[in-house]
Amino acid sequence: KSEMERTNWTEIEFILQGLSEYPRAEKLLFATCLVMYLVILLGNGTLVILTLLDSRLHTPMYFFLGNLSFLDIWYTSSFIPSMLIHFLSKKKTISFTRCVVQMSVSYSMGSTECVLLAVMAYDRFVAICNPLRYPIIMSKALCIHMAALAWGLGFFNSLTETILAIQLPFCGKNVINHFACEILAFIKLACTDISLNEITIMLGNVIFLFTPLLLICISYIFILSTVLRINSREGRKKAFSTCSAHITVVTVFYGTILFMYMKPKSKDSAFNKLIALFYGVVTPMLNPIIYSLRNTEVHGALRKLVSRHWFWRKR
**For residue 174, is it within any domain?**
yes
Domain-embedded: residue 275: no
What is the extent of the structural domain holding 166? Answer: 20-263+283-308
Alpha-carbon span 257 to 67, nearest angstrom: 21
**Residue at 277 is within a domain:** no
* Tens-digit pLDDT string for the chain (315 aa): 444 444 455 567 888 887 777 778 888 989 999 999 999 999 999 999 999 988 888 999 999 999 999 999 999 999 999 989 888 888 888 888 888 999 999 999 999 999 999 999 999 999 999 989 999 999 999 999 999 999 999 999 999 999 998 888 877 678 887 888 888 888 888 888 888 888 998 898 889 989 999 999 999 999 999 988 888 888 788 878 888 888 988 998 888 877 776 665 555 567 777 877 887 888 899 888 888 866 777 777 777 777 765 555 555
Rounded distance, CA 104 to CA 123, Å? Answer: 28
The domain that contains 150 carries what CATH number? Answer: 1.20.1070.10
Calpha distance 9→18 (Å, rounded):
23
Domains: count for the chain: 1
Residue 143 domain flag: yes
For the whole prediction, is pTM greater than 0.85? yes
User: Does residue 187 lie in a domain region?
Assistant: yes
List of residues 6+ apart from 289 with CB closer than 8 A: 43
Phi, psi of 230 (to 5 degrees): -75, 130
Contact 61, 123 (CB under 8 A): yes
Residue 12 included in any domain: no
Quick count: other Cβ atoms within 10 Å of Cβ 49?
15
Q: Looking at residue 8, what is its pLDDT?
A: 54
Domain assignment present for residue 216? The answer is yes
Q: Judge whether 313 lies within some domain.
A: no
Distance (Å, whole) CA 20 – CA 256:
24
